[in-house]
Amino acid sequence: MDNLSDTLKKLKITATDRTEDCLEGCLDCLLQALAQNNTETSEKIQGNGILQLFANLLTPQSSCTAKVANIIAEVAKNEFMRVPCVDAGLISPLVQLLNSKDQEVLLQTGRALGNICYDSHEGRSAVDQAGGAQIVIDHLRSLCSITDPASEKLLTVFCGMLMNYSNENDSLQAQLINMGVIPTLVKLLGIHCHNAALTEMCLVAFGNLAELESSKEQFASTNIAEELVKLFKKQIEHDKREMIFEVLAPLAENDAIKLQLVEAGLVECLLEIVQQTVDSDKEDDAAELKTASDLMVLLLLGDESMQKLFEGGKGSVFQRVLSWIPSNNHQLQLAGALAIANFARNDGNCIHMVDSGIVEKLMDLLDRHVEDGNVTVQHAALSALRNLAIPVVNKAKMLSAGVTETVLKFLKSEMPPVQFKLLGTLRMLIDAQAEAAEQLGKNAKLVERLVEWCEAKDHAGVMGESNRLLSALIRHSKSKDVIKTIVQGGGIKHLVTMATSEHVIMQNEALVALALIAALELGSAEKDLESAKLVQTLHRLLADERSAPEIKYNSMVLICALMGSESLYKEVQDLAFLDVVSKLRSHENKSVAQQASLTEQRLTVES
């Protein structure tokens, strides 16, 4: 270290005199000291004011320039040295050196800038202002096709520099994307896939950029899918495949890229990984199985990629995914059920799947998860059943297969995601199925649970679906027994509240159900309708200019139906409904205007 102090003193003198030979000796000593103890040497360099000297030594003409840049690269490995490098005015001369023709100067300059930018806002900002990124991208373009070792080393350093420059910084990543870095990096990957270090650097850069939404369109216009799948097929090591997975996952969120990945043969790779890892006890294998099957499900979220893999229900991929459902591996059961839910996104697929016996497979899967079951598997299997129940022709088939009985086994679940899907599945199944709606609507246990969930204020989805199912049971069954069960279960007040929902569809469903209650079973519901303040609610809906035409129409239909109850009709008279209704006779919607005239007549006659 005494030697170091001497060297630093000598450097101060020679830096001013510019004696090249002597200067070179000092720089060699510094590099040696940095190699032995980087932190301590860096502290001394900073303490002696040497950084400021370097700014003047970074000239294209000097034979020592590469060594000076190398020293800066080494000291900038220390976090505490990055801001001092910026403050010493080193960024501008370093960026100027990026225009050099000397490969060693370019290499050390790229290293220096990359290290200064690492995790340093000040470093990145200074490089940005000096215009460093564009010059580096231009270098990548011009060197892209050259495959000699020295050029590949330089390309690796430049990729690393851009990565450090933009890592976790959205605006700088967007800047690189606008400069057209993505097609260049994709081309690099294709040409240099034999070079592990450069390939790795490209993958990390893709991983960073792919998180940004604006990058997806640029990626989609390249052959990134083909290159990544080609690279993926060559890998045998877990960690290398994991790096590629980390790029594939964000990219596969884009529908165009999903299709490209499917066409490039990614699915076959994923299925192979599943086959290799499914019976393994190793942690790495289990993690890879999860990643591969999750990615498979993600690819099925795109309409075109999903349909391509479905192949009319004959596709080998579709068949393989089906075989996951009876598996003993929870991750595969989950991926299988989610894949079915994704395939079940159009009527044709749903009808084919129900006819080919998938419902029974899903019911068997759910039966295996009733007691202390896996919540994610329950949720996924219920999602699949709900989607399959959407086409009208499937409802009766699924009902006769016993789907409702299987689904009702999960009524005791305390998990909101499972409750939500359970409710949605039942609501889909009873749509326009009077018999099934009546059977379910007379199930006091179900109604009791629905009423309880209608108060689940912490879970808006569960609360909304419970209300909708209560209303659906009445609307589709039109049964007095169902209405009595709901009255006894305390469900009326929830239907009245639902009429004031922010969603027009829910308001409407509630009003239609309440009109049926008033028409079929007004006597037993009367007290509950009064205490739930139905009449006041209807008055507000009619007086509110923002209420949709169908809400106004159904509210007036309901007013007329309530006239059969003395106490409710008295409330109607007390609230001066005539004023509100008569204004609606000139409503722009003809149905509303006609119903207003009819309602006005009824109110006038009755009074």
Nearest to 134 by CA among 102, 161, 168: 161
Each residue of 573-593: pLDDT tens digit?
888 888 899 999 999 999 999
| H or E segment and range at residue 200 | helix 196-210
Which 3-state string (H, E, C) describes 89-115? CCHHHHHHHCCCCCHHHHHHHHHHHHH
Each residue of 230-288: pLDDT tens digit?
999 988 788 889 999 999 999 999 999 999 999 999 999 999 999 999 988 899 899 99
d(CA 359, CA 389): 10
Listed range (14-18, 209-213, 395-399, 500-504) with the worst mean pLDDT = 14-18
| H or E segment and range at residue 581 | helix 577-583
d(CA 373, CA 360): 18
Each residue of 336-368: pLDDT tens digit?
999 999 999 999 999 999 999 999 999 999 999
Nearest to 450 by CA among 461, 437, 436, 465: 465
Burial environment of residue 586 by CB neighbours within 10 A (0 to 12, 13 to 18, 19 or more):
exposed
Q: Which residues, in sequence order, are CB contacts of 570 under 8 Å at separation 6+?
A: none
Long-range contacts formed by 481-485: CB under 8 A, 24+ apart: 481/438, 481/441, 481/442, 482/437, 482/438, 482/441, 482/442, 483/516, 483/517, 483/520, 483/521, 483/524, 483/525, 484/521, 484/524, 485/441, 485/442, 485/443, 485/444, 485/447
Token reading at 258: 């999903």
Look at residue 76 in the predicted model and tell me its pLDDT.
96
What letter represents residue 61's amino acid?
Answer: Q
Count Cβ atoms below 10 Å from residue 467 Cβ, excluding itself. Answer: 26
Listed range (154-163, 232-241, 298-307) with the worst mean pLDDT = 232-241
Phi, psi dihedral angles at 499 (to 5 degrees): -65, -15
Placement of tokens 């469903």 in the chain? 509
Look at residue 109 in the predicted model and tell me its pLDDT.
97
Query: Sorting pLDDT into bands at 50, 70 and 90, what band is 607?
Result: low
How far from each other are the two terminal CA atoms of the chain, in whole angstroms? 107
Phi, psi dihedral angles at 236 (to 5 degrees): -120, -15
- Evaluate whether 173 touches 215 at the Cβ level (below 8 Å): yes
Q: Which range in 235-249, 367-381, 475-489 is most confidently predicted, on average pLDDT?
A: 475-489
605: pLDDT strictly greater than 80: no
566: pLDDT strictly greater than 60: yes
DSSP SS3 for 603: helix
Burial environment of residue 79 by CB neighbours within 10 A (0 to 12, 13 to 18, 19 or more):
exposed
Nearest to 454 by CA among 491, 501, 412: 491
DSSP states along 507-547: HHHHHHHHHHHHHHHHHHHHHHHHHTTHHHHHHHHHH-TTS
Look at residue 604 in the predicted model and tell me its pLDDT.
87
Each residue of 12-60: pLDDT tens digit?
777 666 666 678 888 898 899 999 999 999 999 888 888 988 988 898 8
| For the chain, percent of residues with pLDDT exceeding 90 | 78
Look at residue 222 in the predicted model and tell me its pLDDT.
94
Token reading at 432: 């326009």
Query: Sorting pLDDT into bands at 50, 70 and 90, what band is 213?
Result: confident
d(CA 494, CA 496): 5
Token reading at 119: 């995790």
DSSP SS3 for 463: helix
- Evaluate whether 490 touches 509 at the Cβ level (below 8 Å): no
Opening angle at CA 314, ends 324 and 228, nearest 5: 65
Look at residue 606 in the predicted model and tell me its pLDDT.
65
d(CA 574, CA 153): 88
d(CA 245, CA 14): 53
d(CA 508, CA 492): 15
Listed range (84-88, 277-281, 418-422) with the worst mean pLDDT = 277-281
